[in-house]
Structure 1
């Protein structure tokens, strides 16, 4: 036990001497979490929590533009902007603002749209009531709205705005058709009665027929309720803080492969490892001391990032990090992830012979594991084969476990599989490192 403690203290002393390295090791992940969370919060708001600012130009200045503007504003998904800096927008100005990226969308109501829509509604209702008994007239041209967008806007974001506009137009069309139908049915019934009763029938007043309420065209027949499925009846959706803090904290933890692997390589190169091997200290003790030291570093690093999520991010208007109701589960997951990261660092430091090799392969492999594991892009939006690959990423195991605790109110039992995966990864990495260590250790290679 004393030998293990001595090895552990040696690593802590070496780390403490490198103050700039310690600062980077603890500060950079915290800064990364702050920056990414702020950016992600803005993206989430743009995706639906607040209205998207859309330029609106109405050349028609009749009922169609007014109805579309009211429905878009009432949807809560769009914020209508009709003037910039106190000046009304024209098409040229709108294109310039879109090209500069100041706005992402512009909706234009062309002149004559209202008249065209009314004619088309009358024609459709007339043809529907005639049911093919009379020759159809020349079809009225289909009026159209114009939607301009910033070319840099991604497809899903663009589709969400266009879908909102389609729903608004559909709602307006249904109400206009219902109104036209309610006005045309009494007239049509009067004509039918005259055909049946003959020319001697006096015109029946239109008001004698019961009128239809045009509101039925816009009233919903079926509602859709959307609820998140979670344990314990918790209905809160994950915030950007709950998504980013555990993800980027794990990302920072696994970057200890660089200092850990580098320390092993330097010890081999300067002969320190060879001198240590001459001492009556088991190989396992030498490696275990390093692992325990860096697990402590990872735990402190993760704790700092949690404190940032709890107390620093709310200063910028971000939600407070909610960490679920199982602190014991969080501790087990963090320690397991720290062991996995330390084991991976020991394995790289044992396998590679030069610091350059380890410093190149280590960070790149961590970035790949983070990308595959859902740290940068959610796993569910990946192609199917990438989703299968993500099941083998240790960062995915840690992230899934922490999200389960933070958001789904999971406990130790629910995250036990991920904990076992992380510990198995640690054991496998240490076995590989131990095998290479024994084979090369005696020669100092």
Structure 2
């Protein structure tokens, strides 16, 4: 029995050796992928801060508010304010056309008389409050308040910019305008109450502070490496579905499988041989990705992957992820009749599993229906297992449910493959 399994493993390695180019791609592709994606994601905000985004500012106000907005934008590490194009003042129409053509990412249009009308509105509100408190002249109550229309600060965005950028900019500008209004209200009260020298603190009273989890009194800050290495390692592991299914189809079309069946060995032996062989390939992929993240990332400006105390459990998750991928590949290769069926379907299905599993888009950001669907993806089980070990510092007992699901997926898919093969041969 053990000899037959060993010879089956040798046979699988001999098959793989015939396609060295494909085997190299199987190892090189995920390395290039994880380095490229992690570099892009990790350097996104660094790039923005190093190379400021030029934004257009159209100042129709010419008052204190627009001056404060300009100063705050200039102080920002993200933006460079542009008020002239070709030494000519920018109009709203010029700005609109420039932004919609993609020359600039954003244009801010400050309406006319914003400062004057804002102060007038605040004066009205303050007078009303003081009047209700009996602190103003009763004659002033007979004066009808002037109707002041609300003002709009217009924002023009390049249609190609992402929604997250829009939300961040709008939130930042809204906060800036709110601070300006608050400061004006304080000053108005000071003037009305004759407390011109009173020093009100303008610093925000309420602030937000992220509490970072600690291990051994050291803060553990998640970074792009800790998210990308598990995600793209899984992507690489599941991509063995393609060569595995193709090899099974080759065995059927070239008569190799028929010759194997004439020997006194069962199909189960063949599947065990494939499982051992491709499990070894999955683990080699995993350790290569980890080695690159630990030893090479720091030399290209990326954080090093901290695997201290995590490597064993990460290896366990990787092994069971490999089992799930192998089971899927065996099922696909058994059902497919030609390489033209197995290869495209294998590649497409892996991409779909990755998409719904949270490799590309976080599951929490998906619509509710897709969050439910994501729970059915073995990639999601595996990815959550990696996150539990690497980011949540869980114990072995706590990852048992996820690796059990992965192993169950392997058992179900291989059982279906065995049943289908037996059914097909007996018909």
TM-score class, shorter-chain normalisation, is 0.7 to 0.9
Per-residue deviation, 1:177: 0.9
For the pair 1:434 / 2:422, whether they are aligned, the reply is no
Q: Deviations over 1:72-123 (max 9, x none)?
A: 455x574333379996873466446534545422223345433333333323
Q: Structure 1: where are the runs of 5+ without partners?
A: 187-209
Q: Deviations over 1:391-425 (max 9, x none)?
A: 11110111111122222233423322211111111
* Partner in structure 1 of residue 79 of structure 2: 79
371, 380, 393: which one aligns with 2:364: 380
Per-residue deviation, 1:173: 0.5
* Partner in structure 2 of residue 215 of structure 1: 200
Are the equivalent residues in 1 in contact too, given 2:48–2:78 (CA < 8 A)? no
For the pair 1:14 / 2:15, whether they are aligned, the reply is yes
Are the equivalent residues in 2 in contact too, given 1:46–1:52 (CA < 8 A)? no
* Partner in structure 2 of residue 309 of structure 1: 293
Are the equivalent residues in 2 in contact too, given 1:105–1:148 (CA < 8 A)? yes
* Partner in structure 2 of residue 207 of structure 1: none
311, 330, 335: which one aligns with 1:351: 335
Superposed CA RMSD: 3.0
* Partner in structure 1 of residue 67 of structure 2: 66
Are the equivalent residues in 1 in contact too, given 2:49–2:77 (CA < 8 A)? yes
* Partner in structure 1 of residue 109 of structure 2: 108
248, 254, 260: which one aligns with 1:264: 248
Deviating more after overlay: 244-253 vs 127-136: 127-136
121, 146, 149: which one aligns with 2:154: 146
Are the equivalent residues in 1 in contact too, given 2:385–2:399 (CA < 8 A)? yes
How many correspondences in the alignment?
418
Are the equivalent residues in 1 in contact too, given 2:245–2:342 (CA < 8 A)? yes
> SS at the partner of 2:11?
helix
* Partner in structure 1 of residue 167 of structure 2: 159
> SS at the partner of 2:304?
coil
Instruction: Name the CA distance, whole Å, in 2 between partners of 1:380 and 1:46.
Output: 27
Per-residue deviation, 1:273: 0.6
Q: Deviations over 1:277-335 (max 9, x none)?
A: 11112221111111111111111122222233233444442222233522110110111
Distance 1:315 1:87, change over 3 A: farther
Instruction: Name the CA distance, whole Å, in 2 between partners of 1:336 and 1:230.
Output: 29
Q: Deviations over 1:322-374 (max 9, x none)?
A: 33522110110111111111111111111222222222322222111111100
TM value normalised by structure 2: 0.87
Distance 1:274 1:222, change over 3 A: same
Instruction: Name the CA distance, whole Å, in 2 between partners of 1:404 and 1:52.
Output: 37
For the pair 1:240 / 2:240, whether they are aligned, the reply is no
Instruction: Name the CA distance, whole Å, in 2 between partners of 1:101 and 1:178.
Output: 41
Per-residue deviation, 1:168: 0.8
Deviating more after overlay: 120-129 vs 229-238: 229-238
169, 181, 185: which one aligns with 1:177: 185
TM value normalised by structure 1: 0.84
* Partner in structure 2 of residue 90 of structure 1: 90
Instruction: Name the CA distance, whole Å, in 2 between partners of 1:70 and 1:214.
Output: 22
Distance 1:130 1:83, change over 3 A: closer
Instruction: Name the CA distance, whole Å, in 1 between partners of 2:45 and 2:94.
Output: 28
* Partner in structure 2 of residue 202 of structure 1: none
